[in-house]
Amino acid sequence: MSTMKPGSSIYFIGIAGTAMASVAVALSQAGYSISGSDTAFYPPMCDYLAIHRIPCHKGFDPQHLRSDAPDVIVVGNAISRGNPELEFALDEHMSIVSMPEIISRELIGKNKSVVITGTHGKTTTTSLIAWIFEYAGLKPGFLIGGIAENFDAGCRPSFHNENGYFITEGDEYDTAYFDKRSKFLHYRPDIAVINNIEFDHADIFGSLDDIVQSFRQFISLIPSNGVLIINGHDEIASEISLGAYCPVEQFGFSNDFEWSVSGLEAHETGLSFQLTHKGEELGAVLMDQHGNHNVLNAVASIAAASHAGIAFPVITEGMHSFRRPKRRMEIIGEFDGNITVIDDFAHHPTAIRATLAALRQRYPDRRIIACFEPRSNTSTRNIFQKDLETSFNDADIIIIGKVHRPERYAENERLDTAALCSTIIESGKNAFASGMNNDGYPDDIVQFIHNNVRENDVIILLSNGSFSGLKKLLTESFL
């Protein structure tokens, strides 16, 4: 519920982050006066802020707060003690909040809250749900971890002051330096989705049990007249859902689930399947994506939309015009020799495995060259050393990039890319560990690809970051 007057001023410390910039623009659209600061402004978020005329200060300086004199200061979760603006705000007893707090108070407010959580699939599922609601005329507010292609925005306010819908990608990452709870604990879910629960964010969570505890707390927030929608194939989600005080519905490839998929067929342009709800046949669903994980994302979206009162035919019609987020099996180039280059955000072993399986489903007769960058706080450690050995089974050639910022960990804690490559080679596949010589990185990857690529090959880049500019180098090399 909002506690601020229309026109109140809000200042963002760390405004250039993807989520922070998106929320800042949404609050501006909701009628608040917005400004902020950061040390570096890069596309696309710097352009996004400029287009929406959000005043931004370069660098952190207490004078910015003196001149802007905001009513409230939003402290990004990348900001910590020692930041000059934060120190000034604390010294002056200025009002500070986290980004999830301001979302809860000023954007969710009295609207019904739809929250999508899980280790994998959050962005795609949230984007699809938001679009289905939009197609149905509900004009929801939303927060998505990226720029949603159907909206050209990552966040916007609901078109209703209350009794509308706000759809949130519920991240389990921590809230702020002063609030170590998972972000999704601020979002007061009425309709909640849990896609899956696995270990991730090793910089925040010490164990899978710690993550499970956050999800238990999340479930405890759902009111008795709400609903919890879970992936029935996920054992952890199924187990902790027993503690819910609201109805629970499972989805997946089983007749035992409330939302049951059958008759799955792969086509050149996507997938089709039949969907049943509590024994009632709803009809056929057509989608222009591949992979069983995307089927589960779609069914979770259908279930959430149905609980908002949207009719099944309207839901499936809306899905036809859905544009998936960038970096989700995004084709970035088709080159001579029918060589296809694809970019994808996958970086966790499960996500890599699912993405490559979807790619094999889409291109059953073409070779797949998979390039993986260990970049996240979890994938750069040796936590998933064994899991990664079998994550590339659907690829024909595997390239392992350098560990991003390896100095963060002792050698015995770090992912051993040479050992990973050796194990993959021993399994009978062609593999290459990049960065092991002095030929330059990632130029050595480009050279290896050109030495091994054939006509009709599909090349996929798997990283949650820039891969040291590999996308640009590779695509330019094919021109």
Q: What is the pLDDT of residue 18?
A: 87
Residues 142 and 278 in one domain: yes
* Percent of the chain whose predicted confidence (pLDDT) is above 70: 99
Residues 350 and 423 in one domain: yes
pLDDT (average), residues 416-425: 94
With a cut of 80, say whether residue 436 has pLDDT above it: no
Distance, in Å, from the CA atom of 382 to the CA atom of 33, rounded to the nearest integer, reads 46
Q: Is residue 163 part of a domain?
A: yes
Residues 166 and 308 in one domain: yes
**In the numeric block, which tokens belong to residue 315?**
């839901």
Residues 372 and 263 in one domain: no
Q: What is the pLDDT of residue 42?
A: 83
Which residues is 344 bridged to in the sheet? Answer: 462
Span 215-242, pLDDT tens digits: 999 999 999 999 999 999 999 999 999 9
Nearest CA-CA partner of 252 in 311, 200, 194: 194
Q: What is the DSSP letter of 332?
A: E
pLDDT category of residue 261 using cuts at 50, 70 and 90: very high
Q: What is the pLDDT of residue 438?
A: 56
**C-alpha distances in Å from residue 417, one per residue of 208, 399, 422, 424, 453:** 24, 10, 9, 11, 22
Helix (H) or strand (E) holding 240: helix 235-240
Distance, in Å, from the CA atom of 177 to the CA atom of 48, rounded to the nearest integer, reads 26
Q: What is the mean pLDDT of the chain?
A: 93
Q: What is the pLDDT of residue 367?
A: 97
Residues 230 and 301 in one domain: yes
Residues 139 and 87 in one domain: no
Q: What is the pLDDT of residue 3?
A: 64
Last residue of a domain, one of 77, 100, 123: 100
Q: Is residue 390 part of a domain?
A: yes
Residues 340 and 273 in one domain: no
In the chain, how many domains are there?
Answer: 3
Last residue of a domain, one of 70, 100, 130: 100
Last residue of a domain, one of 100, 128, 157: 100
Residues 125 and 265 in one domain: yes
- Domain CATH code at residue 403: 3.90.190.20
Q: Count of CB atoms within 10 A of residue 405's CB? A: 10
Distance, in Å, from the CA atom of 33 to the CA atom of 29, rounded to the nearest integer, reads 9
Q: What is the pLDDT of residue 1?
A: 52
Name the 3-class secondary structure at 443.
helix
pLDDT (average), residues 268-283: 94
Span 236-252, pLDDT tens digits: 999 999 999 999 999 99
Q: Is residue 4 part of a domain?
A: no
Q: What is the pLDDT of residue 228?
A: 98
pLDDT (average), residues 45-52: 92
Q: Is residue 27 part of a domain?
A: yes
pLDDT (average), residues 180-190: 97
Q: Is residue 37 part of a domain?
A: yes
Distance, in Å, from the CA atom of 111 to the CA atom of 135, rounded to the nearest integer, reads 18
Residues 178 and 298 in one domain: yes
Expressed as residue numbers, the domain containing 210 is 109-320
Can you list the positions of beta strands (E) in 206-316? 227-231, 248-252, 259-267, 270-277, 280-287
Distance, in Å, from the CA atom of 406 to the CA atom of 374, rounded to the nearest integer, reads 10
Span 288-306, pLDDT tens digits: 888 899 999 999 999 999 9
Q: Count of CB atoms within 10 A of residue 82's CB? A: 8
Residues 275 and 341 in one domain: no
Placement of tokens 């609903």 in the chain = 227
- Domain CATH code at residue 115: 3.40.1190.10
- Domain CATH code at residue 50: 3.40.50.720
Span 321-377, pLDDT tens digits: 998 777 788 899 999 999 999 999 888 898 899 899 999 999 999 999 999 999 988
Distance, in Å, from the CA atom of 252 to the CA atom of 233, rounded to the nearest integer, reads 7
Q: Is residue 452 part of a domain?
A: yes
Span 109-129, pLDDT tens digits: 999 999 999 998 899 999 999
Residues 117 and 170 in one domain: yes
Q: Count of CB atoms within 10 A of residue 4's CB? A: 17
pTM tops 0.75, yes or no: yes
Name the 3-class secondary structure at 246.
coil
Radius of gyration of the chain (CA): 23
Residues 134 and 261 in one domain: yes
